Amino acid sequence: MREFFGFGGYAREPEGYMSWQHLAFVTLLMAIMVGLSVYFGLKYKSRSEREKNHPLIIAAIMIDSFELFKIVIMCIRSGDPLAWLYDLPLFLCSIQLITIPLAAFAKGRVKEAALDFVFIFGILGAVLGTYLAGQNYGTYPVLSFDNVVSGITHSISGFSSLYIVISGMSSMKKKNIPITFSILFFFCASALIANAALDYNYMFLRRGDGTPYDIFYNLVGGNAVLYPMIVILLFVIYIIAFQYTYNFFKNRKKRATEQSEETVSSTN
């Protein structure tokens, strides 16, 4: 158990980023994530809005509980009661620690915007935080506390994202886009401030650290102004592209349904 939790450091050598152990572990997590989201999404699809909230409430409690447990272990392991300062919810994936509870417990436009934010970034975070998490799987053994808890929390984000769309909870209303952007920009600004104060790399706004952001970091030669601007711009582009793609397929499905109804009506 000391080895699993990393007390005194890990004795095992990391299997490595994109090793078969890494890929097998995260693929298992993704399979469980997709299976549960489809099962509960279809199960609650025709239920009331209040009942649809139940899986999200459980997801919100679970993701925050795992994260709090991780922070406690990190503080004990390091012997530093301030170690939590380096585990603030200021990564794109960890924003879900706040937005999933908002999606589950808030009301009105805030709830709608939170649901959309989780829908938009949850599945992206699940992939980035598992398959593409070079900073984790290149540093720690696959079956270690750091990677197991990280894998679980990222999978909960992905589950919430898929569940929201399958159960029909997503709205993706254009009027809520400013709130979605406000959430993103607030956390980006907070990450920039925390990075400067703690000399850390929240939201990967200082460097790529083994993630795909390294492509852009190297492209601009690590420029301290251009690189974070590119990362934030990528977030904005992703939101716009996601919104456009979702509405395109939604409108296409709506037109197909209307045409089908017209065909049935004319036949009758």
- DSSP assignment of 200-254: --GGG-S--TTSTTHHHHHHTTT-TTHHHHHHHHHHHHHHHHHHHHHHHHHHHHH
pLDDT for the residue numbered 9? 87
pLDDT for the residue numbered 173? 84
**Dihedral (CA of 102, 103, 105, 111) sign:** positive
pLDDT for the residue numbered 268? 62
Among 159, 184, 183, 176, smallest CA distance to 246 is for: 176
Non-local (6+) Cβ contacts of 165 within 8 A are: 41, 119
Residue whose entry in the numeric block shows the structure tokens 């959309």: 116
pLDDT for the residue numbered 227? 96
pLDDT for the residue numbered 264? 66
Tokens of 30: 């993704």
pLDDT for the residue numbered 177? 86
How many CB atoms within 10 Å of residue 250? 12
pLDDT for the residue numbered 267? 66
> Are 130 and 26 in contact, with CB atoms under 8 Å apart?
yes
What's the chain's Rg over C-alpha atoms?
20
pLDDT along the chain (268 residues), means of 10: 89 93 97 97 93 96 95 89 86 91 92 93 92 89 95 96 94 86 93 94 90 91 94 93 88 74 66
How many CB atoms within 10 Å of residue 60? 24
What letter does residue 16 receive in the DSSP assignment? -
> What single string gives the DSSP state of each residue in 56-76?
HHHHHHHHHHHHHHHHHHHHH
